[in-house]
Amino acid sequence: MPLRYICYDCGSRGSDGSGRCGCGEPLWLDTSPDAFDWDDIVDAPGLWRYEPLLPASLPSPPSLAAAAGGTPLLRDDALDSFVGASVHLKLEGQQPTGSFKDRGSALALAAMEAGLLGESEAIGTVSHGNMAMSTAAFAAAFDRPCVVLVPDDIPPERLGVIGQFDPTILRVRGDYGRLYERSLELGSEYGIRFVNSDSPLRVEGQKTTALELCEAFAPSTPDGIVLPVSSGGHASGVWKALGELRAAGVIDDLPALHLVQAAACAPIAEAFAADEETVSAVEGGETIAYSIANADPPSGTRALRAVRDTGGAALSVDDDAIRSAQRQLATGAGVSVETSGAVALAGAKQLVADGVFTEDDDVAVVATGTGLTEASADVSAPAVDLAALDGLLAEFAGR
């Protein structure tokens, strides 16, 4: 069955999820789980347990897809006292490439293997970090050509990490926000499936973070879920999953979704504080949480809606608070997280200070990425102009 897409906001339908809705908001997959219960979980590894709620199944042979999802929830006294509530730390650093991005990459590759994406042979992504690494690793596992578009000024260490999996890497000069749209346009022209931060299949894969959390707390639910947010893709997936569980009658009330940003670049938190309906681009300064510094988040408005719909909050924390949370995770709990992952713990602590949570609350804190990802490889990544991208991608796609 072909995939069908729908707009969360205006309800319009679309047949191609790589575009946006006419209203300007991102589309997501039109999945209507009329019946689902935890008994319907299938006997499969990782995130594939939730196959009845996903658009694709575990590929055969499963390859790296078998390793995606199924991350543990860690309890540690040091984290409880640091935050001032009962912390349930979701360790996304345990994924094959060290971040939750593997959930979306696994699902996208599974959909391609199942022929759900028509003619696309190659996969691509626009990212300067974890998503690039994740997409490249899964493409390598499934023998798909992969092109990764990174900003021109990417640090060489990051290139080394991505380059391990041998994708085609192009360092693109020009507006990074514009690159996101341009990649989708050129991708549909050249049969390259760009699975960017909030692409519908990535959102489907990222639903499983919330499915795992809710299953772990069943038949109850956590008092809140705290997630660092950048593009809003992960938040969209978590919100969609909660909605599907409620539609199926598995949960009654949605746990509050709290989204945390770095203060230097916090368009969603600022829109929330100002009671705005939509998220607008901000200037965006430097922060140590580089993976989540998106000044113009493509799913920002959708993430804001998720916060309001679940009765949560969008907030920001400064770099000192992020550093202190990162240090606490490492020295108190032995968990290495990257700065972006530490943002969630810093946010949970802030929410206790704000009186949102008390010490009796069970708070699911998603540590989205490991701090251990350091590697290097000899990488060739030519710097190219955005204007030259058309020709280069045509050549890459062999057209």
Ligand X SMILES: *Cc1c(COP(=O)(O)O)cnc(C)c1O
- Does the footprint of ligand X cover residue 232 (CB under 6 A)? yes
Give dist(CA 60, CA 50) in Å, integer: 17
Structure tokens at 108: 């996208």
Of 291, 301, 310, 326, the residue at the interface with ligand X (CB under 6 A) is 291
Kindly tell me the burial class for residue 139, based on how many C-beta atoms sit within 10 Å of its own C-beta (0-12, 13-18, 19 or more): buried
In the region spanning residues 367 to 386, those forming contacts with ligand X, defined by CB under 6 A, are 368-369
- Does the footprint of Zn ion cover residue 23 (CB under 5 A)? yes
Q: x/- binding map, residues 172-211, to ligand X, per CB under 6 A?
A: -------------------------x--------------
Taking the complex as a whole, the smallest distance from the CB of residue 281 to Zn ion amounts, in Å, to 20
Of 223, 244, 338, 361, the residue at the interface with ligand X (CB under 6 A) is 338
Structure tokens at 397: 């796609």
Structure tokens at 355: 């009186």
Q: Is 200 left (phi over 0), alpha (psi -120 to 50) or beta?
A: alpha
Taking the complex as a whole, the smallest distance from the CB of residue 197 to ligand X amounts, in Å, to 5
- Does the footprint of ligand X cover residue 317 (CB under 6 A)? no
Number of shown-chain residues binding ligand X (CB under 6 A): 20
- The answer to whether 227 touches 92, Cβ cutoff 8 Å, is no
- The answer to whether 104 touches 206, Cβ cutoff 8 Å, is yes
Please list the residues that pair with 362 across neighbouring strands.
86
Taking the complex as a whole, the smallest distance from the CB of residue 248 to ligand X amounts, in Å, to 24
Taking the complex as a whole, the smallest distance from the CB of residue 398 to ligand X amounts, in Å, to 30
- Does the footprint of Zn ion cover residue 30 (CB under 5 A)? no
Taking the complex as a whole, the smallest distance from the CB of residue 33 to Zn ion amounts, in Å, to 21
Structure tokens at 332: 């108190």
CA quadruple 394, 396, 397, 399: dihedral sign: positive
How many angstroms from the chain centroid is the CA of residue 148?
17
- The answer to whether 121 touches 143, Cβ cutoff 8 Å, is no
Judged by beta carbon, residue 112 or residue 235, the one nearer ligand X is 235
**Where do the DSSP E strands lie in the chain?**
5-7, 13-14, 27-29, 73-74, 86-91, 122-126, 146-151, 168-173, 192-194, 224-228, 256-262, 314-317, 362-367, 383-385
Stretch that binds ligand X, among 182-190, 215-223, 246-254, 334-342 (CB under 6 A): 334-342
Give dist(CA 216, CA 294) in Å, integer: 31
Q: In terms of DSSP bridges, do strands 27-29 and 73-74 run parallel, antiparallel, or are they unpaired?
A: unpaired
- Which option in ligand X, Zn ion, none does residue 234 bind, with CB closer than 5 to 8 A by kind? ligand X
Of 9, 152, 276, 318, the residue at the interface with Zn ion (CB under 5 A) is 9
Judged by beta carbon, residue 58 or residue 262, the one nearer ligand X is 262
Of 90, 101, 144, 305, the residue at the interface with ligand X (CB under 6 A) is 101
Judged by beta carbon, residue 90 or residue 302, the one nearer Zn ion is 302
- Does the footprint of Zn ion cover residue 27 (CB under 5 A)? no
Give dist(CA 355, CA 52) in Å, integer: 38
Q: In terms of DSSP bridges, do strands 13-14 and 192-194 run parallel, antiparallel, or are they unpaired?
A: unpaired
Give the nearest residue (CB) to ligand X.
369
Stretch that binds Zn ion, among 18-26, 52-60, 179-187, 332-340 (CB under 5 A): 18-26
- Which option in Zn ion, ligand X, none does residue 23 bind, with CB closer than 5 to 8 A by kind? Zn ion
Judged by beta carbon, residue 72 or residue 115, the one nearer ligand X is 72
The residues of the shown chain that bind ligand X, judged by CB under 6 A, are 99, 101, 130-131, 197, 228-235, 291-292, 338, 340-341, 368-369
Residue ranges binding Zn ion (CB under 5 A): 7, 9-10, 12, 21, 23, 25
